[in-house]
Structure 1
C-alpha cells in the first residue's frame, strides 16, 4: 500500500456531509485496502462545528472559502448546495488551484457545469459528481464509462424521491395531493418550500446533466421543458390503476432527427414497464444504447448514506488515479444541438373531463377531438348526476402534441366542461 494518502477537504457538514465524514471514518480500512492508500480528511468547513461526527484532529473552518484557498488538499468535496454563492466560489477556487472537486450539487452542475469543466481541464483537475443524480445509483459512471461503447438514444427515469413518495402514497391511501404533501413535509420527505421538487425543477436539473453525458452536448438547462405534479389528483390515480398504469413524474430525454428532446412531466407508465413498480422515495433510471440495448438502474435516490456512498465512489476513483473528462469527452468535443420542436412530439394521452350531465355533451367532445384529428381509444363514464358534474375519462391514440393541445383548447371552450386534466401516456 502506498504511504501517500488522498488528502480531502470537505465543505458542508449537513445531512450528506455528515454522512460522508462518517463513512470515511467507519470504512477507513476497507477504503484504504481497495484504493491502495488512505483517504484522509485534512479540513472540514461549516458555519458551526457539529457534534457527534468523528472530526477529532481535523482542522475546522467556519468559512469554506478560506479552507478552499488555504488548506493543503488534493480534492475538495462540496456539499453545501445551491447553484451559486459560496458553493460555486469554493469549487472555482479549488479548480483554479489545480485541485479536483467532488460534489453532490446538481443545481450547480446544471447551471455552471460546462464552465467548471473548462476550468478543470485547463488547470489539470477533475470533477466527480456521481452523487448529483440518483443518490446512490451509479448512473454517472454508467453513462461516462460503462456505456462508452454505445450511442445512447434515450435516457429516462424517476429522478425525484419526494414526488415518487407523494404519488405512491396517494395511490396507496386514496388521499389527495395537498394532504399527502403536508404529511411528507412532517416526515421530512419534502422541504418546507417544496417548489423545486413538486414543480419538477429538481428533476430538470438532473435531466440536464444526464442529457449532456448521454448525448455529448453542453449543459443546457433552458432546453429542458418542465411540468410538475400539483395537478395530479387521487381521482386520476384511481383511473390510472383501472387502465393499467401508474402515474410517475418522469425526466425523459431522447435524441431525435431534429435535435434533443428533454422533458419533465407526470406520465402514465404501463404496468409492464419496470418504472411503474418503483415506489416510495426510490429512484430508477433507464438508458437505451445501440449495442447494449436497455439497462435499468434502481436504488435510493437521496439520504445521508446512499448519497455519501456516491460521493466516496468518486473519491475512490481519484485515489486510484482514475480520471475521465467531466462529461465523458473534452469540453471542446461537446456539440450543441437544438431542442427538438415540442409540438412535433407524438404521444398517447389520458384525458379526464368534469362535465355537466346533460344531453349532447359527448357529441360535442367527440367533435372537438375529430376536428383536430385526435382519435379516441377508450372511454369510461359511469353513473348520472343531473345536478352536478361527472367525470368522463378517455384515452386517445398516439397523436401529434400540437393537435392534442388544440383539441384541449376546444374542449375547455365547451360550456359543458367544468374542468380538464391531460396526462401523457408514455410510449415505451
Structure 2
C-alpha cells in the first residue's frame, strides 16, 4: 500500500504559536565628540553547525529528549527542504512556523526546528509509531541507553493506518509493489491505469526498502515521494524518508515488536518541571477529543501532586488549543513559549541542505513546457517549488516575461518525458501544460 500521485499541497494545517524573534546583541561606541553616535546592533556569529536529530541518549525514567533549535533560510529554501535536513516532517516544520510560507519563505527567515520530543506512553522496546504526530521511536535491544526517532508519513483519511501491537514479519530490499485491486480501481477512476506489479525503480512508491508488518498488507517502507513525510498521504502504510529507512533496515530484525498508537497528549517531568506536548487528534479520533482531554487533565493533577509542582492551568489550555506538538513546561512560573523560542539553539545554515532539489539549466536543445502563468511572482515560485518536490521530481523554475511570471518545467529528454510530466501535472494540479519543442531559445518558444 502506498500513496497515489497527488499534490503535495495538503489541507490547511491549523495555526500554532507565533515564536519570538531572536534578540540581537550589540554595543555602543562612546567617543569624545559631542555629536550623537549611531548605535549599531550586530547579530552574534552562529558557530554551531549541527544538532542531534535522530539519535538521543536515554536514561532510566527519561521521557523528554532533544532541544529546540533555529536556522535562518537562504534563497530558494523551502520549509520541506529544511525539515528533511533536520529529521523533521512537513507537519513538524509547518506547525512550529505558522507565519512562514512553506514553499516561499523569505530569505533570512528564522525557522524554529522543533527537535524536542516527549516519548509515547509505551514500553521502550522495539518500535513505537505515534500516528498523531507522525513519528517513529526505535529502542534498539542492543542499546538500552539510546532512542532513535524519525518522521513518518501515514494513511490518509479513509485509508487509516491501523493501531495495535504487531511485529516486523519480513524484510525486502529493492521490493516490487503488488498493486492491490482497490488501488488499481482508484487510479482507473482518475484515468490512470496501473499495472498489477511495479518493479524496483524510481516509479516504485515503496522506495528501496520495505518491512512487512504482521498486519496483513501493511508495511513500513521508503518512498519515491519523500516530501509527503509528515502528511497523511498513503493507503495505510508507514513511510520514511529514503535515507531513514536505509539507516534502519539493516538494524531492525525480523520479529521486532511494533506498537502503533494514537496519543495526542503527552506529559513529562524534566528539569524539575512538568511538560505537556499537545497534538490535534486525527480525524478518526476527533470524536473522542473531550474524553482524551479529561484524561490528560486528570494525569496532570496526579503528576502535580506527586512532584509537588503547581500547574499553570491557563497555559495548559493554551497549549491544547495551539496543538503544535512542541513540548512546553506547564509548571507555574515556568518559561513561556516566547522564552523557549528565544532560548532555542541557533544552527549555522549548511552549505547544502540534504537532498534539496537542484534544477538543471534549461538549454535551447531541451524539451520543456509552460505549466502556468501568474501575475504574482510569489505564486509562480510556489508552484515551481511544489513541482520540484514532487516524487519523482518535475524540474521547474519561475521565469519573468514582461509583467507576468511563467512556471516552466524541464529539461526533458524527449516528447515522451514531456507527456509523462503533463499527465502527472494534470492529475495532481488539474493544469494542462503547453509543450515547448527544442532547438529554439526559450524567449522564442514563449
TM-score range, shorter chain: under 0.3
TM-score, normalised relative to structure 2:
0.26
TM-score normalised according to structure 1 size: 0.27
